[in-house]
Structure 1
């Protein structure tokens, strides 16, 4: 037992403050993923972003967050979870403050990247602290229930808060809003979390591997986004993509041969559950980020909806996600995760295909509300099962790596998907700026998002094993797994899975 759990009863001040700090952290990170979207048109007008350049407000955060999550988890184990959590919170809050004062596109993109670095440090450290503080039993169930609720609340309120702040206080407040939350979390963590020191005495985290992976992915996204200016066959695009591929190949080589602790053991991908779940999650992340981006712009630039009303129009989707998540838990007693992933992916694809029928003179009920409910319920069905699948059959000492890998795949998918689909929509729109032309571009992007989800469902159907057990039946009954896995209660496992999604 680590020092983080020694001397802490379930009713002591330490666990309560730890849970409060982690809950605020999760709410802040979840809110930040959605609060910026509604303010994108105002950000573009205020700082002079071009159509393609505006996507980097999303890319910069997603790439830094997704590319460095594994390194953040390793650093938390190596240097102490409280220390890394405090560092991440400080950086996240400072970057939010700087971003709010940005005077040009480059400054805001840099601030968003710094936010992503901070989030990559604080998110895995916070989850590790929660797991260590509440290892088993009812306290763990309650703790992960609170964490899951804050995760859903942050995403649901992010679009509403973003719309209200953008319309009535200005777009800069979608950045400033994180500062007080970061300060509250810092105070709670500083006072309430006992620093146990390093949880692992392994080698130093693989910073070179993290730099190669993030650099390669960043150049890959940059090359795709720049096709609005340089054709796919141009020397500039080909050279950029070639360097990106070279960096990613170097990353794989470093992970195979490094004498330090690798970010991810490549043999982990031999596990069909890990490979299938991450492939599925990559495409889901690409589709979801793109759909949120296109719908936010459609509502404001095509239909002329105000920012605050746009935030309200996103609420049905967020609430439908909660309904789908609860439904997944209830169905998980009888239906295998593979079936839920296939059904959820296809249902979300149907909702996005419905979104793809938007028109320049569309209405809320037919073009937004209906597809939002369908897509939201489908997405909620996927959240818990994809997490439980991604960690099925994984050795206990690699469970954290598998969880971090899943989060990384979603963030990386979000950035790559938005780059590709945003470029496709930009090409469809062309130089026209009228509502009809913009509508055509956004409709194409939403239809392509639906296609990505169909492919994700096919991956789940073909790669994942058909006989995987439902959620209340343990997938791995070996003695080692039973002894080392901290969550033995089915309810705790389901809540933890839903929260991590």
Structure 2
């Protein structure tokens, strides 16, 4: 073994990166803080741009169609490369791939902030997305390694999920304040010092972990078909925001992406050393959790996008005031995440997700009822912000726990990549379906003589109600399909290692 290989004990199946509770790294909580800070930045970067888009458009002379790619470029690459990034982390070292992703993300952030023409900003956003695809799955995949004790792991994943929930909403707050008080460029520049801190601290507080040496051959066909398929599907969904579902610009990438993903499944079932082992998808809890993640992220990003447009276009909010309007959602998301972490070991992941999805569906109905041209903040916007923030915060820690349920040390990067890819796919799906539905409603009713502010209020509210129905269906799926498991996940490798050492493994929940 190399020196890197020695950093972590080896599991019974030869995979590195696992160990019993007694072998927990004393630096683990500091390492979690660094990982969580980077994850917070990665998630925040998806929403921080939205409030600044008008200033970016005027500053770099973007066309309306080109401006959309400031958001789409990031989502496209991040969503398409996450599975590959997760598997590369498993194979070549999660710490190593994480550091590579942080470096790419930091350099791309500096390039975004310094951009003087629109093409440079869009190209840099593509590179930023690649940085997230490398760093995000590797960071989440390190948590099962750092926290071999299941109780500690549940707490760590709860913190991780909670910060992810808060980051999405606080991005709007930060974006509004920085854009109004300083300059839109600083929504990118503020990423750089965080990346530098991570690059300095991670090698000092975090061990390396990866697969056994004989499992490090990259499955090229699986990598190309999985990545190409995801990129094509996400691109097709993004095109659906501006074109009809029957147009070639939507259908061709969607169908081509699906074909590539089917080819990937056929190949992975035959090859002896697959990049994405199909056995990973036989766990019902993981599959269900990842599927419903698409629904709640579609609803969340739709809400953030349309609420921003609503308060700016209908109520003439400035970027700063728009950002401040998200503070109630941010605070209640934090409260929901804390509640989720407390409830999971008591009532289980399934119960928490059922309450979270049901509550989020009700919250969207409440938010829709508050949308009116003459609505006030306290009686119109606030109830929806508070409820939707709380139940989204309640959902995220449970989703992360479910996505890593019974995952082995050998596949933790893959599991993290799948979960993060579902989040990005959900965001793209919401922007491709619910948002265009709202826009078409507005256009049709304005053409019929409805006042624009009335049409916008009604159209955005209708999109929320459709999103609420989707979340209600997801809640039913959780009740019917999800296994009843506690927040403390079983780790087969850790159990095998403990048994080999003569320790009594804890029973499966």
CA distance in 1, matches of 2:488, 2:254: 45
Alignment-derived partner of residue 29 in structure 1:
42
Cα drift, residue 483 of structure 1:
5.3
CA distance in 2, matches of 1:63, 1:148: 23
Alignment-derived partner of residue 356 in structure 2:
344
1:471 to 487, 493, 500: 487
2:427 to 401, 414, 425: 414
CA distance in 2, matches of 1:62, 1:220: 12
Alignment-derived partner of residue 314 in structure 2:
302
Alignment-derived partner of residue 253 in structure 1:
266
8 A Cα contact 2:406 2:492, kept in partner:
yes
Alignment-derived partner of residue 287 in structure 2:
275
Q: 1:361 aligned to 2:374?
A: yes
Q: 1:328 aligned to 2:340?
A: yes
Equivalent positions of 1:200-279 (< 5 A) are 200-227=213-240, 230-263=243-276, 265-279=277-291
Alignment-derived partner of residue 15 in structure 2:
none
1:77 to 74, 84, 90: 90
Q: How many residues align?
A: 485
Alignment-derived partner of residue 448 in structure 1:
466
1:94 to 102, 107, 113: 107
Q: Aligned with 2:373: secondary structure?
A: coil
Superposed CA offset, 1:300-319 (max 9, x none)? 22211111221121121121
Alignment-derived partner of residue 404 in structure 1:
417
8 A Cα contact 1:5 1:133, kept in partner:
no
Q: Alpha carbons of 1:288 and 1:489: their partners in 2 closer, same or farther (altered >3 Å)?
A: farther
Q: 1:317 aligned to 2:329?
A: yes
Q: Alpha carbons of 1:381 and 1:270: their partners in 2 closer, same or farther (altered >3 Å)?
A: same
CA distance in 2, matches of 1:426, 1:60: 21
8 A Cα contact 1:203 1:260, kept in partner:
no
CA distance in 2, matches of 1:475, 1:135: 8
Alignment-derived partner of residue 289 in structure 1:
301
1:462 to 456, 460, 480: 480
Q: Aligned with 2:317: secondary structure?
A: coil
Q: Alpha carbons of 1:476 and 1:115: their partners in 2 closer, same or farther (altered >3 Å)?
A: same
Alignment-derived partner of residue 389 in structure 2:
376
Cα drift, residue 428 of structure 1:
1.9
CA distance in 2, matches of 1:479, 1:16: 22
8 A Cα contact 2:136 2:417, kept in partner:
no
Q: Aligned with 1:204: secondary structure?
A: coil
8 A Cα contact 1:166 1:307, kept in partner:
yes
Cα drift, residue 109 of structure 1:
3.2
CA distance in 1, matches of 2:237, 2:434: 10
> Which segments of 5 or more consecutive residues in structure 1 lack a partner in the other structure?
495-501
Root-mean-square deviation (CA, aligned residues, Å) is: 3.8
8 A Cα contact 2:87 2:413, kept in partner:
no
CA distance in 1, matches of 2:140, 2:124: 24
8 A Cα contact 1:64 1:214, kept in partner:
no
8 A Cα contact 2:141 2:416, kept in partner:
no
Q: Aligned with 1:356: secondary structure?
A: helix
Cα drift, residue 36 of structure 1:
1.9
CA distance in 1, matches of 2:219, 2:90: 13
More displaced, 49-58 or 273-282? 49-58
Alignment-derived partner of residue 3 in structure 1:
6
CA distance in 2, matches of 1:336, 1:139: 16
8 A Cα contact 1:81 1:125, kept in partner:
yes
Q: Alpha carbons of 1:244 and 1:268: their partners in 2 closer, same or farther (altered >3 Å)?
A: same
Q: Aligned with 1:31: secondary structure?
A: helix
TM-score (norm 1): 0.83
Q: Aligned with 1:361: secondary structure?
A: coil
Cα drift, residue 399 of structure 1:
4.5
Cα drift, residue 345 of structure 1:
0.6
Q: Alpha carbons of 1:197 and 1:352: their partners in 2 closer, same or farther (altered >3 Å)?
A: closer
8 A Cα contact 2:407 2:491, kept in partner:
no
CA distance in 1, matches of 2:64, 2:169: 26
Q: 1:39 aligned to 2:37?
A: no
Superposed CA offset, 1:406-461 (max 9, x none)? 22212211112212222222322328694334334422332222222122112212
CA distance in 2, matches of 1:150, 1:233: 39
Q: Aligned with 2:292: secondary structure?
A: helix
Q: Aligned with 2:316: secondary structure?
A: coil
Cα drift, residue 20 of structure 1:
5.1
Superposed CA offset, 1:67-121 (max 9, x none)? 3223222222322333322211111011112222335554433322211211121
Superposed CA offset, 1:199-244 (max 9, x none)? 6541333454344334334333444444566543345544343333
Q: Alpha carbons of 1:163 and 1:206: their partners in 2 closer, same or farther (altered >3 Å)?
A: farther
> Which segments of 5 or more consecutive residues in structure 2 lack a partner in the other structure?
10-21
Equivalent positions of 1:102-141 (< 5 A) are 102-136=115-149
Q: Alpha carbons of 1:438 and 1:104: their partners in 2 closer, same or farther (altered >3 Å)?
A: farther
